[in-house]
Amino acid sequence: MDLSQQEWWEKAQQDENAVVLDVRTDDEFNRGIIPGAINIDIYKGQSFIYQVEELDKSKNYYVYCAAGARSGKACSIMNELGFKNTYNLAGGISQWSGPVEMPG
């Protein structure tokens, strides 16, 4: 499900079961993230699927990338793998006006 920035962030903040997932590359991730994000690079193909399979399917995933296309694809893959609640950040971090921090 695609959500606007404001809706995505508000929902994530109010959700005790929220996990923020960044599906960009390591290089992109290291340039700045939405606070609390974990990183699994969708470009890693099968490795992405293996890593996502390790995640708790009972949680709600707030997924983003640079512009919204990769994260939309990630949400579709996750839904196919049995994740019930995945929320795509429309426009991605490139249009993000909320908080950004350095990882680590």
In angstroms, the CA 36 to CA 53 distance is: 20
Catalytic residue among 65, 89, 90, 93: 65
Annotation marks residue 65 as catalytic: yes
Residue with tokens 């903040």: 13
In angstroms, the CA 90 to CA 70 distance is: 11
Q: How far is CA 58 from CA 44, 73, 83, 85, in A?
A: 24, 20, 7, 8
The residues annotated with a catalytic role in the active site are: 65
